Amino acid sequence: MHDGQAPFYAIEVEHLTKKFGAFTAVNDISFQIPKGCIFGFLGPNGSGKSTTIRLLCGVLQPTSGYARIMGRDVVKDTETVRHSLGYMSQRFSLYEDLTVEENLNFYAGVYGLSKAVRESRKQDLIRMANLEGKEKKLAGTLSGGWKQRLALGCALIHKPDLLILDEPTAGVDPVSRRVFWEIIHALARQGITILVTTHYMDEAESCDIVSFILDGRIMDHDTPQNLIAAEAGARNLEDVFIRRVERATGHAVSGTFQEMRFIHETES
Amino acid sequence: MRRNRERSADRIQKETDGRNPVWPLFSGIHRAGRFLPSPKPAKRSLLSWKRFAAIVKKEFIQVKRDRISMAMPFMMPIVMMFLFGYAVNTEVDQVPTAVLDLNRTAESRAFIEHFAASGYFRIDGFVQNEQEIKTAVDADVIKVGLIIPPDFDRKIQRGETAAPQLIVDGTDPTTARTAFNSGMLVSEMATRQLLDERLKQLGGISLKAPSVRVTTKVWFNPEMESVRFTIPALVGLILQNVTLMLTAFALVREKERGTIEQLIVTPIRSFELIVGKLIPYIAIGYMGFLFALSICMFWFSIPVAGSLPLLLTVGFLFVLCSLAMGMLISTFAGTQLQAMMGMVFILLPSILLSGFIFPREAMPPLIAALGNFIPLTYFLEILRGIVLKGVGMPFIWKNTLMLGGFTLLILSAAMLRFRKRLD
């Protein structure tokens, strides 16, 4: 799979399964993501995306199978894996009562960076997030886009090889969303592998590889272009996504408002 | 997405002040290439001082910005000590009393005078019949009714036993008990004196009957003021409450705000996280202890009879113990509200069972035994021992040992529960 010294894949997942009691959240999934790729991880809510991410971070123990990050096993080598991992959660886990600078300082300290390294990276990250002049502002007073980019900064301060973004653009305005994706693409160009979950299909289409996960199983794993081409009549990834869900559940995904007669009834 | 990118380019320019938003990131620390692994240390020490320091620093900044946390170690001693020091007073005197004097003689008036002079009773008025006493007690105007029978002076003159009646409202047992006891005492003294005078009138001689009298001496709190019992204990109770509360909140806050999600994917070890987070609260809890102790010494003028350094040392141990309890609560609670509810389970028994107000000697053995599982019980004995009795290590080492044992036990339980993994 890799030549020992320099693994080709940033993420290798083999027969990974996670059960919570009788419920199987992640069901025998396998995939590989080459380094420097942007990997879009798609699926409806509750399909097993977050559980997979937690398994990759070594926060949850897999029931069976294994996952490797940068060639290192996430269970046996958890601490090393965590040093090469940047994570940004849905809720932008910032300390709102700390300033922009203090948030960055804290995560720099958590990853054991020296002061010199910290200061130079902090400057770069503040420039990246365009937070210059806001260093002394409390994170809680920033608006969504700034918070999101500060959270990204905190996830990048230790220079991770793999960046995991769990719905990073949920609840952020379109302009900030675009700026954020510009940053993501630039990071990938510098060799950072990115795993991103999203419900925005335009974002997913700009990924190098996407996976559909449904009920804990990987349904597809290919480039967005190939996926659209393979699905007859699909114009975009959104069509592909909806067809997949329809096929898996056996129900047409459409509005059922007609059935709600009371909306049209006049009250007596 | 790619197609639209050019169109929104000008908006991006606006958002980013016209500068290239990103690049290059990490200038000067160039990556070797896409497929080369970046060297990372494989082996790591058990504890990283950098990580540890980062947590301590962060927590200190957060506490500093949290006004309520900063005010608590000062507000709680002030409020609680003044409340308990002035409002809660188990000494009963000046009990409102009504008198029904059916005798109306010099003897009966002298007897009533004894009651008034004792200080325990305040004669609020004289009534004409028993019904009036009942009405006054019902209306909560008086607590005690004193009825002197018509034959009071005659019985005394004949050397018989006079039988005045003391009616006590037993609703509040503390008041009733005091009124009852002091009533007995006053009437005994009054009768003795009346009898003495009578005998003198009769024969000019004083009857000297052989008698045994116990001389009593109360140590450590000669005036038997309840303040001297309550206030030093309050120092301990406040110390426990402040530390417990702040600690539990601090740890639960990370869960509630979701920041813990970010922390568990970092290399932080749970040991570093817990101890690092707790250090500021050790400092604050101890500040609260010192402040409460100063109020006790300088406002209530209750000096520390024993060794102050010893008290400060054992106090530190108790701060650690309270901290561990707060931690344990935080491992069960997901929100600050749940933590608050968890605290009630510790605070109430520690007030009731530790001997803070209610003497443990009076409790049924089973209930008193429950108090043995409350660390505050041991600390209160130490506290009262050092402050009031002035005892030293030879008398408190057992309790100190128990306190240390509890601290270790609770701390390990909390650590075990505070696992980094979620499953």
- Beta carbons of B15 and A176 less than 8 Å apart: yes
* Among the listed residues A128, A120, A146, A180, the one whose alpha carbon sits nearest the alpha carbon of residue B23: A128
Task: Output the DSSP codes for A39-108.
Answer: EEEE--TTSSHHHHHHHHTTSS--SEEEEEETTEETTTTHHHHHHTEEEE-TT----TTSBHHHHHHHHH
The predicted structure's pLDDT at residue B313? 94
Residue of A nearest to B2 (CA): A206
Q: How confident is the model at residue A128 (pLDDT cuts 50, 70, 90)?
A: confident
Size of the A and B interface in Cβ pairs below 8 Å: 170
In a domain, B230, yes or no: yes
Is there a single domain that holds both residue B264 and residue B395?
Answer: yes
In a domain, B146, yes or no: yes
Contacts of A156 in chain B (CB under 8 A): 25
Contacts of A153 in chain B (CB under 8 A): none
CB-based contact, B7 to chain A, within 8 Å: no
DSSP 8-class letter at B139: T
Of B28, B261, B423, the CB nearest to A61: B423
pLDDT tens track, chain B, 423 positions? 444 444 444 444 444 444 443 444 554 333 333 333 444 444 455 678 888 999 999 999 998 898 888 888 899 899 988 888 887 666 677 888 999 998 888 888 888 888 888 888 888 889 998 888 888 888 888 888 999 889 888 887 777 777 888 888 888 877 788 888 888 888 777 777 777 777 777 665 555 555 565 666 666 666 657 778 888 888 999 999 999 988 888 888 888 888 888 888 888 887 788 888 889 999 999 999 999 999 999 998 888 888 999 999 999 999 999 998 998 888 888 888 898 888 888 888 888 888 888 888 888 888 888 888 999 999 999 999 999 888 888 888 999 999 999 999 998 888 788 764 444
The predicted structure's pLDDT at residue B115? 85
Q: CA-based angle A39:A41:A44, to the nearest 5?
A: 165
Q: How confident is the model at residue A208 (pLDDT cuts 50, 70, 90)?
A: very high
Residues 6+ apart with CB under 8 A from B258: A89, A91, A93
Is there a single domain that holds both residue B231 and residue B325?
Answer: yes
The predicted structure's pLDDT at residue B33? 37
Q: B146's torsion region: left (phi>0), alpha (psi -120 to 50) or beta?
A: beta
Contacts of B1 in chain A (CB under 8 A): 181, 202-203, 205-206
Q: How confident is the model at residue A169 (pLDDT cuts 50, 70, 90)?
A: confident
The β-bridge relationship of strands A217-222 and A209-214 is: antiparallel
Is there a single domain that holds both residue B247 and residue B181?
Answer: no
Is there a single domain that holds both residue B400 and residue B251?
Answer: yes
Q: Sign of the C-alpha dihedral, residues B125, B129, B133, B136?
A: negative
Is there a single domain that holds both residue B160 and residue B105?
Answer: yes
- Beta carbons of B35 and A187 less than 8 Å apart: no
Contacts of A179 in chain B (CB under 8 A): 12, 15-16, 21
A55-65: burial string, b at 16+ Cβ within 10 Å, e else: bbbbbbebeeb
- Beta carbons of A179 and B21 less than 8 Å apart: yes
The predicted structure's pLDDT at residue A165? 93
The CATH number given to whatever domain includes residue B186 is: 3.40.1710.10
In a domain, B18, yes or no: no
pLDDT reading at A114 higher than 80: yes
Q: Read off the amino acid at residue A189.
A: R
Joined tokens for residue B26: 């990490």
Query: If residue B101 lies in a helix (H) or strand (E), which one and from where to where?
Result: strand B95-101
Is there a single domain that holds both residue B230 and residue B379?
Answer: yes
* Among the listed residues A106, A118, A109, A180, the one whose alpha carbon sits nearest the alpha carbon of residue A144: A180
pLDDT reading at A252 higher than 80: no
The predicted structure's pLDDT at residue B206? 55
CA distances from B189 to A108, A127, B195, B304 (A): 80, 91, 10, 38
A16 vs chain B: nearest CA distance in angstroms? 16
When scoring B254, B262, B273, B419 by the number of chain A Cβ atoms within 10 A, the one with the most, hence best to mutate, is: B262
- Beta carbons of A97 and B31 less than 8 Å apart: no
pLDDT reading at A74 higher than 60: yes
% helix, strand, coil for chain B, step of 5: 65, 5, 30
Name the domain boundary from B203, B238, B273.
B203
Name the domain boundary from B149, B173, B203.
B203
In a domain, B28, yes or no: no
**Number of other CB atoms surrounding residue B316 within 10 Å:** 15
Is there a single domain that holds both residue B228 and residue B184?
Answer: no
Name the domain boundary from B174, B203, B232.
B203
The predicted structure's pLDDT at residue B214? 63
Is there a single domain that holds both residue B190 and residue B234?
Answer: no
Rounded to whole angstroms, the Cα distance separating A181 from B1 reads 10
> What's the rounded mean pLDDT across residues A97-118?
92
* Residues spanned by the domain of B182: 95-203
Is there a single domain that holds both residue B140 and residue B227?
Answer: no
Q: What is the rounded average pLDDT for all residues in chain A?
A: 86
Tell me the per-residue pLDDT of A139-159, one tens digit each, with 9 for 90 and over: 999 888 888 899 999 999 999
In a domain, B82, yes or no: no
- Beta carbons of A8 and B35 less than 8 Å apart: yes
Residue window 338-377, chain B: list those with CB within 8 Å of chain A. Answer: none
Rounded to whole angstroms, the Cα distance separating A112 from B52 reads 9
Contacts of A37 in chain B (CB under 8 A): none
Q: What is the ipTM of this complex?
A: 0.82
Contacts of A108 in chain B (CB under 8 A): 54
Rounded to whole angstroms, the Cα distance separating A167 from A156 reads 17
Overall number of domains in chain B: 2
Residue window 12-51, chain B: list those with CB within 8 Å of chain A. Answer: 12, 14-17, 19, 21-29, 31, 33-38, 40-42, 44, 48, 50-51
In a domain, B105, yes or no: yes
DSSP 8-class letter at B386: I
> What's the rounded mean pLDDT across residues A12-26?
92
Q: Where are the beta strands (DSSP E) in chain A?
A: 9-20, 23-34, 38-42, 64-69, 72-73, 85-88, 162-166, 193-197, 209-214, 217-222
Rounded to whole angstroms, the Cα distance separating A43 from A79 reads 29
**Number of other CB atoms surrounding residue B216 within 10 Å:** 5
Joined tokens for residue B194: 């009346």
Strand partners, A195: A39, A164
Q: How confident is the model at residue A255 (pLDDT cuts 50, 70, 90)?
A: low
Residues 6+ apart with CB under 8 A from B22: A128, A182, A183, A186, A187
Is there a single domain that holds both residue B278 and residue B390?
Answer: yes
In a domain, B328, yes or no: yes
In a domain, B208, yes or no: no
B78 vs chain A: nearest CA distance in angstroms? 28
**Number of other CB atoms surrounding residue B226 within 10 Å:** 16
- Beta carbons of B258 and A89 less than 8 Å apart: yes
Is there a single domain that holds both residue B191 and residue B247?
Answer: no
- Beta carbons of A120 and B28 less than 8 Å apart: yes
Q: How many CA atoms lie within 13 A of A167 on its CB side?
A: 12
When scoring A182, A203, A208, A210 by the number of chain B Cβ atoms within 10 A, the one with the most, hence best to mutate, is: A182
Residue window 254-293, chain B: list those with CB within 8 Å of chain A. Answer: 257-268
Is there a single domain that holds both residue B195 and residue B331?
Answer: no
B264-285: burial string, b at 16+ Cβ within 10 Å, e else: bbbbbbbebbbbbbbebbbebb
